[in-house]
């Protein structure tokens, strides 16, 4: 059975990403400008009060294992079922050839990365998300049209995330090529690759399975915001 992380943000913030951790009592989170993810130790009134104190007014955060509980100043705004996938260490990496050139991205590319991800999944990529790990992208006429990189890294495990392609450039194999680039990058460095995808995103699930990923588990991400006071 592949490694499963039921609370990936907490595991990352207590290991590889501990330098990002904003922690109070039983709650921890990434800085707002880095990522909208956090965690609580357990769904208790004390933990929710700690989470409330960490959040800014109107800030939205996604955390697992946080079922709705009436808490002054916190508003539950739904949940998302996510599948966690792992790439087996003995699975061959399919490396499709594409005419486009894949280049490393740096935080100097953050404005272009934000512009692209705001089309695909607004709100998840932030000005400092680029600091979470390594990113690769494809430019066309000086415009970033596809990208992929790392997010919640946990010791020797690297999360593949931020995969997106501009609607005008889909169907060219960019996504599969970028994933292969990350998989090779991880394997050469001795890391294991994993990722998350919404259980309702059937196209992405089919792609990941076709590449060789296996489902390692499922978790619920709860969307919570701090209300204005």
Same domain, 103 and 202: yes
Same domain, 193 and 209: yes
Whichever domain contains 35, its CATH number is 3.40.630.30
pLDDT per residue over 56-104, tens digit each? 999 999 999 899 999 999 999 999 999 999 999 999 999 898 989 999 9
- Domain presence at residue 147: yes
Q: How far apart are CA 61 and CA 142, in angstroms?
A: 33
Same domain, 120 and 89: yes
Collapsing DSSP to helix, strand or coil, 143 comes out as strand
The pTM assigned to this predicted structure is: 0.95
Burial group, residue 200, by CB count within 10 angstroms (0-12, 13-18, 19+): exposed
Put the strands of the sheet holding 38-40 in their side by side order: 22-24, 27-29, 38-40
Same domain, 170 and 130: yes
- The pLDDT confidence band at residue 131, using thresholds 50, 70 and 90, is very high
Same domain, 62 and 103: no
- Domain presence at residue 115: yes
Same domain, 14 and 75: yes
**DSSP-derived pairing of the beta strands 143-150 and 102-105:** unpaired
- Domain presence at residue 2: no
Q: What is the pLDDT of residue 1?
A: 65
Domain coverage including residue 42: 8-81+220-226
Provide the number of structural domains found in the chain.
2
Q: What is the pLDDT of residue 2?
A: 77
- Domain presence at residue 181: yes
Q: How far apart are CA 96 and CA 116, in angstroms?
A: 23
Same domain, 89 and 115: yes
Same domain, 109 and 175: yes
- Domain presence at residue 209: yes
Same domain, 147 and 180: yes
């Amino acid at each position: 059975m592949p490694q499963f992380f039921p609370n990936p943000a907490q595991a990352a913030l207590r290991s590889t990403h501990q330098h990002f951790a904003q922690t109070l009592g039983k709650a921890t989170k990434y800085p707002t400008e880095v990522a909208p993810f956090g965690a609580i130790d357990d769904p208790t009134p004390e933990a929710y009060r700690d989470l409330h104190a960490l959040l800014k007014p109107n800030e939205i955060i996604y955390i697992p294992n946080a079922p709705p509980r009436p808490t002054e100043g916190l508003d539950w705004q739904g949940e998302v079922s996510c599948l966690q996938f792992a790439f087996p260490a003995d699975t061959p990496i399919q490396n499709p050839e594409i005419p486009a050139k894949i280049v490393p991205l740096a935080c100097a590319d953050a404005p272009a990365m934000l512009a692209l991800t705001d089309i695909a999944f607004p709100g998840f990529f932030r000005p400092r998300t680029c600091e979470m790990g390594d990113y690769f992208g494809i430019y066309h006429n000086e415009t970033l049209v596809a990208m992929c990189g790392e997010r919640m890294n946990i010791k020797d495990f690297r999360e593949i995330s931020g995969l997106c392609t501009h609607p005008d450039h889909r169907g060219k194999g960019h996504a599969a090529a970028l994933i292969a680039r990350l998989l090779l990058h991880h394997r050469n460095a001795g890391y294991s690759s994993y990722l998350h995808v919404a259980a309702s995103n059937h196209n992405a699930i089919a792609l990941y399975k076709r590449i060789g990923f296996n489902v390692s588990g499922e978790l619920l991400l709860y969307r919570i915001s701090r209300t204005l006071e």
